[in-house]
Structure 1
Amino acid sequence: MNRRNFLKLAGGGVILAAGGVTTFATTRTPTSALAPWSQAGTYSDPRMNALSYAILAPNPHNRQPWIVSLKGDDEATIFFDTDKQLPYTDPFDRQLTIGLGCFLELMRMAANADGYDVDMTLFPEGEDQTGLDQRPIAFVKFRETATVIDPLFAHVQDRRSNKEPYDLGRPVQSEALSRILSVASHSQIGGSIDPEEVAFWRQLTTEALTVEIEIPRTYKESVDLMRIGKAEVNANPDGIDFSGVFFEALALVGVMTREALLDPTSTGFKQGLKAVTENTETAMGHLWMVTPGNTRRDQIGAGADWLRINLACTAESLGFQPLSQALQEYPEMSTQYETTHARLAPNGGTVQMLARIGYGPNVAFSPRWPIEGKIGNS
């Protein structure tokens, strides 16, 4: 078993991910990586039951940056796993903190559906804006209450980042966008399906993605976390998934190797850049999230809302892919960062997340665990 399938508890023991195994229409299915999904979600301990859902939360590069310690029969402490940092693309751990906010919100939703509420104390030993450390992210106490099932909770096991080209012939309806924008409570949420706005964000997100890929240190951070083919996904199903017959074939003939992907003159590099920019260029709408401040608590709240927006897109059968490159805090991205903030937060604040939406293919071999890009990118 591997990290995406279970949450390893501080002090020993594991919690298996909730859900069931999907049948995939390909012989390249990473079956051993998926096996624990059919064995979980039925814990008698309400904390473990809630956590078995929480580990399905979206997070940057699918790093799963959480460690949990259980105490007594109703307490849990959530920590940040400092081994999961992304120092080049997320130098202040802002995106990873948002991922932890997604985790905490999904834990809360699962607990509520099981007849429990959670009293949560964030950063009980303080916080550092320059980076996360080994101090606790949250102290949580479970207490029994009336069952409350959030309508969005029904879509938890179907949610994933759809990193495929979207259908240019299927516009997103304004009614669907309005429903999606209504589910957040902590942040200022915006979105547009206006053709001129969509064209602007297609261009900017393509530029930002290209900047990240053309800088060796930032691109290598992603390449090092790519899982190419069934064997690599089975061995370590975190990171960025490239499973399925197509990617197996590219790897087999030597086109898709890490060495080739890092070589700007190689076919693999050029095809990879073309593939990811085809995604940004087929966006049919965009969503974004702005917070007045940029404290750790702001970021946790943004994560809670981002999870809910992602689930709302799933409820509308819309593809959803975070495109956070333009929001990253390193010097080469300053032009795209400033342009994004000038347009989306002209009166101040921090643009925490940006995503594209549209109707896309339901790829048969896509894994049921959410493989994310920045938030991430899922």
Structure 2
Amino acid sequence: MSMDRRRFIRLAGGGAVAVTLGACGSALPPEAIAAWQGPGEQTDVRRWLVGHALLAPHSHNLQSWLVDLGVPGEITLFIDRSRLLPQTDPHSRQMMMSQGCFIELLDLAAREKGLRAQIELFPQGAFGPETVDARPTARIRLVPEASVAPDPLFAQIFHRRTNREAYEAREPDAAALEAISACVQAYPMRVGFVGAAQSEALARHRRIAREAWRIELVTPRTVMESLQVLRVGPQEIARHRDGISLNAPMARALVALGLFDRRQVPAADGASTTTQIQDFNTRIEHTPAFFWLVTEGNDRCTQINAGRAYVRAQLAATAAGLSMQPLSQALQEYPEQIGPYNEIHQLLGASAPRFTVQMWARLGYAPVIGPSPRRGLAAHILKA
């Protein structure tokens, strides 16, 4: 019996939700990934900048960026509050990091055009620590300046991927780690790595990651939040162009047969959940290194700057042939994750509340994968 057939029977018999939340086929609909070809020539340079910035990484690939271009020479950035993750990101910390990722890519694109991006965070005041509101997250004024130099990381924007596949056993090159560290030095935060040379610490990283993933999958409201943004098959992927894409033929067959009900919480001991846990544990067990960012404080500006630092680190990793996958589960601030949250902070010498682990990610060499869907330029512009 083939592996696909065995998996199909196991999933169907267990009332499966998906083969894995992270799996997807390579043949995504062309319209879903058209943004990765670039914005083309634009009469308004701001649209060209936004066309690059929207390729930034984002939690659950929700792409919650909205820009107002109503004032000439300015870009005002807002967060789309219809695209939040209230269960897994209850205080929108990860959302603020995603805003930072967008701002950093916009800044890199501006430099390519000889423009200084004068970035003012929260021009009408910062959000409180618990919620976000309708005020802008940033106002960016674009000023031509002859001294502005392009940043080499710009060249990696179209190659950057969040790679959830199995990583090779070999450790990252020391020069690559140095390049990653160097590229985030403009931001006041601590960068760290762990690999095989620190075998005991590496084992603890793996154990925390496994437990945090298990908790998210067996907590009904958090797993349902992911299922609500799961896009299965070419039609759904092309219609939404966001969220978690699943284009594997077996998953599409389950949908066609009515065996894939995303309205139902999968059983904690069911085939779907246990298969996902096993697959994730295997990838974690073979992950050769982990990367992290720690900040002192956790205010909204710090969160945005952590996003800027992270995407720079990922671009530098891309330039070195390395892949990254954020392990957000243990950093999330909902009650069930308090154990892994405390453990990873303790392990990294980042005692809360003084310090916050803003990013924790797998790091290693992995097969090349395709890009994730993007909604396109028009979806992000409030006012031209």
TM-score band, normalised by the shorter chain?
0.7 to 0.9
What stretches of structure 2 of length at least 5 have no aligned partner? 1-24, 376-384
Match of 2:331 in 1: 327
Q: Quote the offset at 1:250 in angstroms.
A: 5.2
The worse-fitting range, judged by mean Cα deviation, of 105-114 and 245-254 is 245-254
Match of 2:159 in 1: 158
User: Residues of 1 paired with 2:36 and 2:334: CA distance?
Assistant: 38
Which secondary structure does the structure 2 equivalent of 1:68 belong to? strand
Match of 1:376 in 2: none
Match of 1:97 in 2: 96
Match of 2:49 in 1: 50
Per-residue CA deviation, residues 111-137 of structure 1 (Å, 9 max, x unaligned), is: 011111111111111121111110111
Say whether residues 1:277 and 2:281 are aligned partners.
Answer: yes
Q: Quote the offset at 1:368 in angstroms.
A: 4.8
Match of 2:342 in 1: 338
The worse-fitting range, judged by mean Cα deviation, of 120-129 and 173-182 is 173-182
Match of 1:141 in 2: 141
CA contact (8 A) 1:260 1:266 kept: no
CA contact (8 A) 2:39 2:52 kept: no
The worse-fitting range, judged by mean Cα deviation, of 297-306 and 67-76 is 67-76
Which secondary structure does the structure 2 equivalent of 1:120 belong to? strand
The alignment of Structure 1 onto Structure 2 pairs a total of residues equal to: 344
Per-residue CA deviation, residues 29-87 of structure 1 (Å, 9 max, x unaligned), is: 31232345547232132211111111111111111111111133201211111111111
CA contact (8 A) 1:261 1:268 kept: no
Match of 2:382 in 1: none
User: Residues of 2 paired with 1:302 and 1:58: CA distance?
Assistant: 13
Change (3 A) 1:35 1:302: closer
CA contact (8 A) 1:260 1:269 kept: no
CA contact (8 A) 1:94 1:299 kept: yes
CA contact (8 A) 1:313 1:320 kept: yes
User: Residues of 2 paired with 1:137 and 1:174: CA distance?
Assistant: 36
Change (3 A) 1:108 1:334: same
What stretches of structure 1 of length at least 5 have no aligned partner? 1-24, 372-378
Q: Which has the higher contact order (CA 8 A, sep 6+)?
A: 2
* Corresponding letter in the other structure for 1:41: G
CA contact (8 A) 1:327 1:337 kept: yes
Match of 1:242 in 2: 246
Match of 2:117 in 1: 118
Per-residue CA deviation, residues 163-218 of structure 1 (Å, 9 max, x unaligned), is: 111122x2222222222121102121111213332222111111111111110011
Which secondary structure does the structure 1 equivalent of 2:88 belong to? coil
Within the candidate set 162, 184, 188, 2:190 is matched to: 188
* Corresponding letter in the other structure for 1:126: G
CA contact (8 A) 1:41 1:53 kept: no
* Corresponding letter in the other structure for 2:297: G
* Corresponding letter in the other structure for 2:162: S
Which secondary structure does the structure 2 equivalent of 1:329 belong to? coil
TM-score for both structures, normalised by structure 1: 0.85
CA RMSD of aligned residues (A): 2.3
User: Residues of 2 paired with 1:35 and 1:309: CA distance?
Assistant: 25
Within the candidate set 201, 226, 229, 2:233 is matched to: 229
Q: Quote the offset at 1:370 in angstroms.
A: 7.3
Match of 1:314 in 2: 318
Q: Quote the offset at 1:261 in angstroms.
A: 6.9
TM-score for both structures, normalised by structure 2: 0.83
Change (3 A) 1:369 1:196: farther
Q: Quote the offset at 1:93 in angstroms.
A: 0.5
User: Residues of 1 paired with 2:99 and 2:81: CA distance?
Assistant: 13
Match of 1:374 in 2: none
Change (3 A) 1:252 1:198: farther
Match of 2:33 in 1: 34
CA contact (8 A) 1:256 1:268 kept: no
User: Residues of 2 paired with 1:329 and 1:82: CA distance?
Assistant: 19
Aligned residues with identical type, % of pairs: 36
Per-residue CA deviation, residues 86-126 of structure 1 (Å, 9 max, x unaligned), is: 11111111000000011111101100111111111111111
